Amino acid sequence: MFSNFFSFASPQAFYPVAGRMIPWFGWSAALLALAGLYIGFFVAPTDATQGESYRIIFIHVPAAWMSMFIYLVMALWAGLGLVLNTRLSGMMASALAPTGAMFTFVALWSGALWGKPTWGTYWVWDARLTSELILLFLYLGYMALKEAIEDPQRADRAGAILALVGVVNIPIIYFSVQWWNTLHQGASVSLTKAPSMAMTMLAGMLVMALAAWMYAIAVSLARVRAIILERERGRDMAWVRSMVNA
Amino acid sequence: MNWGGAAEFFAMGGHGAFVWGSYAVSALCIALEAWLVARRNRRARAA
């Protein structure tokens, strides 16, 4: 019953579609980032307690959101591949991992540079920071595991199990500031309460988050295209040639 | 407008190293990732 739908989502059908989508997401990312940085540096006011160092928020919070969100999407694709045995799923999961790791590193790095002027230290082993560091190791472990297994289908299955077990870390990161007494501040923005910050600060942060989102889509689509070519080479050389020469 | 001039903008109230250190490394990471992905695609097409 699902066979038609899934044959449409085959790697070979997806390759040219992804190629057409990349410029749209890439340019949206660039324009949104310019707008977000303008709001963040020229419109949003100086913070009453933190002065100018708070402006790190415009990269820190979007990167931290993306680090968690990409992990969930990656685990979803990995789980779909495990259950439905669709080939594109494992490729999508592989394509998302490096981008998730990059955003996790950016969140940790910008957090450290924000921590020094506000808390007096680059790093503490509190629940929020430690669970975010574990997220970085989960991404790196996932990538290393998939690299280490030669057969792509076995690599997808093993990676999927690791990715799904690691999902437990996401609510731990998100709720850590409520569950434990952390040096990291609580959420300034949540779905249930009015945000505890100036409207222009919030606007800058949301536009930057949207830019990060567009960038993540563009770069993972580009990466999945490379992965499709690499993997189809072993299966359907005629198709690969037709795509490369097109 | 928040700034009295370029010097004030780059100083970030004395926290310039932290603010610009965050943004510079983030920009580098993004540029590096985009470059690596473009290279991977070039190699996949050429192989």
pLDDT at A204 over 90: yes
Mutate to test the interface with A, among B9, B20, B23 (most CBs of A within 10 A): B23
Contacts of B44 in chain A (CB under 8 A): 225-226, 229-230, 233
Q: Which of A68, A58, A55 minimizes the C-alpha distance to A175?
A: A68
Q: Is B5 on the interface with A (CB under 8 A)?
A: no
Provide the pLDDT confidence category of residue A1 given band limits of 50, 70 and 90: very low
pLDDT at A19 over 50: yes
Spatial distance between the Cα atoms of A78 and A93, rounded to a whole number of angstroms: 6
Please give the tally of structural domains in chain A.
1
Judge contact between A105 and A136, C-beta under 8 A.
Answer: yes
pTM confidence score: 0.94
Domain boundaries, chain B: 6-46
Does A10 map to a domain?
Answer: no
Tell me the β-bridge partners of A51. A47
ipTM of this complex = 0.95
pLDDT at A6 over 60: no
Spatial distance between the Cα atoms of A41 and B2, rounded to a whole number of angstroms: 8
Does A160 map to a domain?
Answer: yes
Residues in Cβ contact with A112 at an 8 Å cutoff, skipping those fewer than 6 apart = A122, A123
Is the CB of B15 less than 8 angstroms away from the CB of A53? yes
Does A49 map to a domain?
Answer: no
Structural domain boundaries enclosing A29 = 19-42+56-183+199-245
Is the CB of B40 less than 8 angstroms away from the CB of A52? no
Q: What is the pLDDT of residues A147-202, one digit of tens each?
A: 999 999 999 999 999 999 999 999 999 999 889 888 898 887 776 776 777 889 99
Q: Nearest Cβ partner of B18 from A102, A106, A114?
A: A114
Q: What is the mean pLDDT of residues A11-24?
A: 94
